Amino acid sequence: MFNAVVIIGLILVAIILFTLFRVSTLVDVLKGNSKKKVTKSNGVNAGLGIVFLIGGLLLFFIYSYTEFDRYNLPLASEHGAVTDQLFWVTMAITGIVFVITQILLFGFGWKYRYKEGNQALFYPDNNKLEMMWTIVPAIVLTLLIFSGWRAWVSITDKAPDEAEVVEVMGYQFAWSVRYPGKDKQLGDFDFRLIDAENAMGMDFKDKASFDDFIPREIHVPKGKPVKFNIRARDVIHSVYAPHFRLQMNAVPGMPTTFWFTPTKSTQDMREETGNPEFNYELVCNKICGKGHFAMRYLIVVDEPADYYKWYNEQQAWLAKNPSYLSSVPQHLKEVAIISSGMENNPEVQAVTGLEEEEEMVGAF
Amino acid sequence: MSTTAVHTNEHIGHDDAHDHEHHELNFVEKYIFSTDHKTIAKQFLITGIIWALIGGGLSIIFRLQLGFPDMNLEWLRPILGKWITSTGQIDSEFYLALVTMHGTIMVFFVLTAGLSGTFSNFLIPLQIGARDMASGFLNMLSYWFFFVSGVVMFISFFIETGPASAGWTVYPPLSALPTAMQGSGLGMTLWLVAMVFFIVSSLLGGINYVTTVINLRTQGMSFFRLPLTIWAFFLTAVIGILSFPVLFSAALLLVFDRSFGTSFYLSDIYIGGEALPNVGGSPILYQHLFWFLGHPEVYIVILPALGITSEVIATNSRKPIFGYKAMILSLLGITILSFVVWAHHMFVSGLSPFLGSIFMFLTLIIAVPSAVKAFNYLTTLWRGNIIFTPAMLFSIGLVSFFISGGLTGIFLGNSAVDINLHDTYFVVAHFHLVMGSASFFGMMAGIYHWFPKMFGRMMNDKLGYIHFWLTFVGVYLVFFPLHYIGMAGFPRRYYSFTNFDAFQDFTDLNTFVSVAAIITFSAQFIFLFNFFYNIFRGRKAPANPWGSNTLEWTTPRVPGHGNWEGDIPKVYRWPYDYSKPGAPEDFIPQHIPLTETPESNLPHEVEQLKEEGIEVKAANAGKS
Ligand code: HEM
Ligand SMILES: [Cu+2]
Ligand SMILES: [Cu+2]
């Protein structure tokens, strides 16, 4: 039914257009319009330009004003304040240029539309004018570049030493996140060590790996610098968190980093947006295959105290996957057991045969 | 200009030779394997139009997915077959194939081959006063390589694993590993093969354009008397010659990685349950190579459109183009700068931040010549006597888009701001306005303007107006809202936004955009009718329908092989003597000698005549 209506509508439109076309051709022939320089359409087109200009600008202003909260994502990072400001300064400058030039374009079109007997001004050049509009944009752009450059340099500068380090790894089609654990040292990794469980290729020949933990969501402390160490294990992905104005590609074979300071906890943001379900999200923003649109990960910004509490409660990956103790070199096994916190886990002890060892030790 | 004379003679000789075998010029030689630049231009144009329909059609399909995610697309099964899932949705991987092919087709087949191929071929000989291209044979090869490229690309739609799907930029490792996505199998191989043919075609064409412009200009046609169209085509060809080989090398290394186990772009990869042996490669290397072409490519797409617009706006404002020299300088500036800004596409790729800074500076410099061009167009309109032909409307539309889209480039070129905008819909809005739509409008302006010369008949103005207004308003309705969606952080190349809390909004705007896209696309059928109907049935064109100064309007209504019957006209002036004070008409074509226009000669022209010792008086006397 719906389809039929659409088809009939289309046919009607086509017929109307064709009739218009025939009529206009005939009229042209009758009036001998082909010899006249312009027809009435000239004024109509010029006028439509003005209608378009006014209508378009109105729509632009009204929509930009009334829907501001929809397209302006709330901001939650320190550097984001700087880049947002740059964005809006650029918006102000380009907005003015945009409005003026469009007004001139369609305004001139209307004002200088063809009139019988008028003559256009022979005005081939004016060096002063041209110098002016080369130099003025150059200066304005220089100012923009300069402030942009300063922001860029500080954003891409080395992360502060005390920054919390989080490793983020993209793969088809999810994220894995690793924290350094109590020693604050991320252990080595190697893509050849990846398997179904050890998705991040953690290398247990490195002591620093033993206490690393892999949570289900990212937690970061509010007001403290956080450094993401970013990598990918199959194709390029991109770590994008729009609320933090944060983006960096995840490239296989070439680790990258991005550091930032969150300014609002998830709870703060829930209050600010009035949305009790609000969550920060990590998004993949580099085409990576079939599931590109579904690589979601949660980021939780905690008050620092909550964050440290959470941090200390996390169990090392090794402790959860004790079978990997077998890839720990013999002389480090003891260390691994202790620093992963495995000894407190009776199940683990059963699996690893830890108890027997200890018993034997006790027996002697 | 002795070289010109020699060449001219050669061409006349060539013509003679041709005449002898004239009776043997069969259909195939005349319309298929033709070496006549005008026929080749039309071949490029028609092929370009067909590809535009295909490319546009693909975008309508994926806009349906974005605008109406719940719509049952079962009715597309006859065309798309298994790419429609059992629930009547587009397969999420095929969605990526659609955007990839849309981008590739539009950028390369429509706006590079369709635009440069058509208008460089058609206009260079006609506007510089040459009988044909420097090498008609290479020119013919250029078209046929393009044709083969298209055939290969077209075939890739029909293979089991589908066409290339890694985005038009085909970044490895995604494009290098068939295990990463289906489209990176045979589809990607065909993409690479097609691109190699395309690159050859571009190079053959480009070398020809450059040679022709340098060597075959008619007497008196100095570089500073060339219409801006020719300057634009010339510099476009130069850019192409310098940048396409780099794309070729990028593609070649990718072929090695894909098929011969090398590791140019691959390192540390675990995929499909196994670790690959490749180490030491860099995916970033590919991005550098690609964008070394890719950025110049966007200027390859826009410069011809700007050239066409300069010509059309000057003609229809009945005014000289404002700042002819500045226009040439800005074209030159853009040409040079376009080679040193490529890494602005890579600010967050893991590029060294120091390089990021350098490329930010260079990128924002390129905005200056672009701004100069926009201001010069505006001043050309100022105090004109403007005639709104369809071509003029499309040119004005181009200027509007070029400004709107160019301004958003200033956001993106600022690396600090780009962090949050990269790969969002903001970028999509930027380049569809400044490149896609602007250059599409340039192409339309060119078609409406030179149709009379191509086919000897006129297109219908009224239909042209309707086509323009629907398309112009439509384009803004499609692409302007994307800025908002981009500012809200929506990533591009997403099949659906339902997975994220942050992207739940704007379903209304997305639906709106899709509807606008469908209407805009449908409006193109008005053009198609107007175009094809009037090739055969249009009113016969007068000799110089727009009162234009350039040489092509001195040829017969339908110029034959060799373009001019008799001698090639000589050129005595620049092409923008419109509304010259004192002149009886509001235009003085380039082939009219200064001696015939004593009433309107400017002081420096009088001076010039004196210096050349030409008998002004005699001519004057003869005239008056
Ligand atoms: C005012 C001057 C311009 C500046 C400063 C500028 C800057 C930029 C930047 C920085 C990007 C990368 C954005 C990103 O991916 O994050 C970009 C993307 C793009 N620009 Fe421009 N641009 C300008 C003019 C143009 C022109 C004239 C064209 C074409 C005719 C163009 C075509 C494109 C295209 C096609 C892309 C996107 C490519 C892709 O990622 O698929 N730009 N522009
Ligand atoms: Cu991804
Ligand atoms: Cu670029």
Contacts of A331 (CB under 8 A, 6+ apart): none
Across the range A157-178, mean pLDDT stands at: 94
Q: What is the average pLDDT score of chain A?
A: 88
Whether B559 contacts B132, CB under 8 Å = no
Rounded to the nearest integer, the mean pLDDT of chain B is: 91
**Contact in structure between A242 and B489 (CB atoms under 8 Å):** yes
Between CA A132 and CA A136 the distance in angstroms is 6
CA distance B449 to chain A (A): 15
- Mean pLDDT across B218-233: 94
Bond from prior residue into B173 cis (ω within 30 degrees of 0): yes
Residue A260 scores a pLDDT above 70: yes
Chain A residues closer than 8 Å to B463 by CB: 17, 20-21, 24
Contact A46 B386 (CB under 8 A): yes
B-chain CB neighbours of A201 within 8 Å are 270
Nearest residue, CB atoms, B489 vs list A236, A242, A248: A242
| CATH architecture for residues B30-537 | Up-down Bundle (1.20)
pLDDT classification of A361: cutoffs 50, 70, 90:
very low
Predicted pLDDT of residue A347: 57
pLDDT at A358 over 60: no
The contacts of residue A9 (CB under 8 Å, 6+ apart) are none
Tokens of A57: 């600008």
Q: Does B500 touch chain A (CB under 8 A)?
A: yes
- Alpha-carbon torsion (B461, B463, B464, B465), positive or negative: positive
Grade residue A364 by pLDDT with cuts at 50, 70 and 90. very low
**E-strand spans in B298-447?**
none
On whether the CB atoms of residues B299 and B335 are closer than 8 A, the answer is yes
For helices B507-537 and B37-67, give the axis angle rounded to 10 degrees: 150
- Residue of B188, B261, A186, A217 whose CA lies nearest to B269: B261
| Residue A343: predicted pLDDT | 75
Place B86 in a pLDDT band, splitting at 50, 70 and 90: confident
- Cβ of B363 closer than 6 Å to ligand 1, yes or no, is yes
pLDDT for res B73: 87
| Residue whose C-alpha is closest to residue B331's, from B355, B307, B356, B301 | B307
Model confidence over B535-568: pLDDT tens digits?
Answer: 999 999 999 999 999 999 999 999 988 999 989 9
- SS3 call for B468: helix
Q: Rounded distance, CA B618 to CA B623, Å?
A: 9
Q: How confident is the model at residue B2 (pLDDT cuts 50, 70, 90)?
A: very low
* Distance of alpha carbon B111 from alpha carbon B106, whole angstroms: 6
Question: From the CA of B422, how far away is ligand 2's center (Å)?
Answer: 15
pLDDT over threshold 50, residue B619: no
* Residue whose token pair is 């008086």: B617
Tokens coding B557? 């209504």
* Distance in angstroms (rounded) separating the CA atoms of residues B379 and A123: 9
Q: What mean pLDDT is predicted for residues B316-336?
A: 94
DSSP string, B546-570: T---SGGGGS-SS--TTSSSSSPPP
- Spell out the domains of chain A, with CATH numbers in brackets: 2-114 (no CATH), 164-352 (2.60.40.420)
Which chain A residues are closer than 8 Å to B473 by Cβ?
52
Q: Is the CB of B367 under 6 A from ligand 1?
A: yes
Give A264: exposed, middle or buried? Use CB within 10 Å, 0-12, 13-18, 19+: buried
For residue A345, the model assigns a pLDDT of 64
Q: Which two tokens stand for residue A93?
A: 């400058």
The model's confidence at residue A16, banded by pLDDT at 50, 70 and 90, is confident
Q: What is the ipTM of this complex?
A: 0.91
| Residues 6+ positions from A87 with CB-CB distance below 8 Å | B411, B417, B420
A208: Cα separation from own chain's centroid:
32
pLDDT at A266 over 80: yes
What is the pTM for the complete model shown? 0.92
Q: Relative to the alpha carbon of B413, which ligand is closest? A: 1
The token pair that represents B3 in the structure block:
């070289």
Tens digit of pLDDT for each residue in A96-142? 999 999 999 999 999 999 988 888 899 888 889 889 889 999 999 99
- Closest C-alpha among B339, B307, B304 to residue B324: B307
In this structure, the number of other CB atoms found within 10 A of the CB of residue B367 comes to: 21
pLDDT (tens digit per residue) in A181-211: 988 999 999 999 999 899 999 999 999 999 9
Q: Mutual orientation of helices B507-537 and A2-31 as an angle, nearest 10°?
A: 40
Residue whose CA lies nearest to ligand 1 atom number 3: B409
Instruction: Give Cα separations from A269 to A66, A75, A262 (angstroms).
Output: 22, 9, 11
Q: What is the mean pLDDT of residues B12-26?
A: 49
Rounded CA gap, B365 and A123, in Å?
Answer: 28
Calculate how far, in angstroms, residue A236's C-alpha sits from the geometric centre of ligand 2: 7
Give residues whose Cβ lies within 5 Å of ion ligand 2: A 237, 284, 288, 295
B58, B105 contact by CB (below 8 A): yes
- Does residue B266 have a pLDDT over 50? yes
pLDDT in tens, B394-409: 999 999 999 999 999 9
Cβ atoms within 10 A of the Cβ of B76, count?
Answer: 16
Q: Does the CB atom of residue B221 touch ligand 1 within 6 A?
A: no
Give A58-80 pLDDT, tens digit per residue: 999 999 999 999 999 999 999 99
Separation in Å, CA B297 to CA A260, B41, B355, B411, B493? 35, 20, 21, 20, 21
Q: Which helix (H) or strand (E) holds A153?
A: helix A127-156
Bridge partners of A219? A300
pLDDT (tens digit per residue) in B112-144: 999 999 999 999 999 999 999 999 999 999 999
Chain mean position to CA B106 = 9
Q: Is B355 on the interface with A (CB under 8 A)?
A: no
Q: What is the mean pLDDT of residues B165-177?
A: 94
Residue B381: the pLDDT is 95
Residue A21: is the preceding peptide bond cis (ω within 30°)? Answer: no
Q: Is the CB of B302 under 6 A from ligand 1?
A: yes
Q: Are B579 and A145 inside 8 Å of each other by CB?
A: no
Dist. CA A193–CA A328, nearest whole Å: 13
